Amino acid sequence: MSLLPTALKRLSYCFLLAALIHLQAPAASAQWIHVTLAGTPRTPDGKPNLAAPVPTAPDGKPDLSGLWQVDSGKYLQNLAGEGVQVPLLPWAAAVYKGRQSDSGKDRPSVHCMPHGVPDAMLVYPFKIVQTPGEVIVLEEEFNQYRQILTDGRALPQDPEPAWFGYSVGKWEGDTLVVEVAGFKEGSWLDDGGYPHTDALHITERLHRLTFGTMEMNITIDDPKAYSKPWQAAPIHFKLLPDSDLIEHLCENEQDLQHLQGGH
């Protein structure tokens, strides 16, 4: 008796389970790793005090360092947020409608391609490491990273297109303003399917509100896909204290042909 039907059922079950974990990941309250981290403000009972004031870096700027996770999965499904009118050009509107109608079955992550910018920060935890001249974002998903250069340089002219683009940042008061450009086409802005072209320019504004909370405001500017720049609803992140990143790799690709009806 052939074991193929049983194997396919198992693969389908695994794929569904992975999808559920993927969608519910932002609701997780802690990582598997637990360690008491020095420098974390604590309440009298020894628990992390997430309402404590924002820490300060040696240069006097707010220190964004820490392990962060988006506080809701809704942003990944709709970056724009409720009530935001996204000014899609006709061709981009058609692409978005198609992706919505088939539940995004061809989104990059199904093919073991990583999420792009900004949605890589909307899936699994990420760690910010802030140093003089550079802010590093370590993504748990696929063990990937971004460099945000804060040494005063401008974005590169005519860069080699990159999946995550190129990021430069500067401080405006207590807010880190990050400009990202130089994208190659292929990534989605979110799992809902907002498209972009190589003309995409993203502005991220990161503001740490307390020791345990951070807000990001995003402006999307892509004249080839949208009739004007548009701003997403504010996105909120929570600190995951006394924890660290864990390894996360993608193995969906080896099962994809079976899950989509291949032979």
- The full set of domain ranges for the chain reads 4-259
Share above pLDDT 90 across residues of the chain, in percent, rounded to a whole number: 70
Burial of 137 (0-12, 13-18, 19+ CB in 10 A): buried
Burial code of 181-205, b = ≥16 C-beta within 10 A, e = fewer?
bbbeeebbbbbbbbbbbeebbbbbb
pLDDT of 262 reads 41
Return the biggest CA–CA distance within the chain: 70
pLDDT of 147 reads 97
* 45 compared with 23, residue with greater pLDDT: 45
Residue with tokens 């297109």: 161
Using 50, 70 and 90 to split pLDDT, how confident is the model at 254? Answer: low
Lowest mean pLDDT among 10-14, 40-44, 245-249: 10-14
Does the pLDDT at position 83 exceed 70? yes
Does the pLDDT at position 56 exceed 80? yes
Q: Name the range with the highest mean pLDDT among 4-8, 24-28, 199-203.
A: 199-203
How many other β-carbons are positioned within 10 Å of the β-carbon of residue 172?
A: 10
Using 50, 70 and 90 to split pLDDT, how confident is the model at 201? Answer: very high
Question: Rounded mean pLDDT of 44-65?
Answer: 96
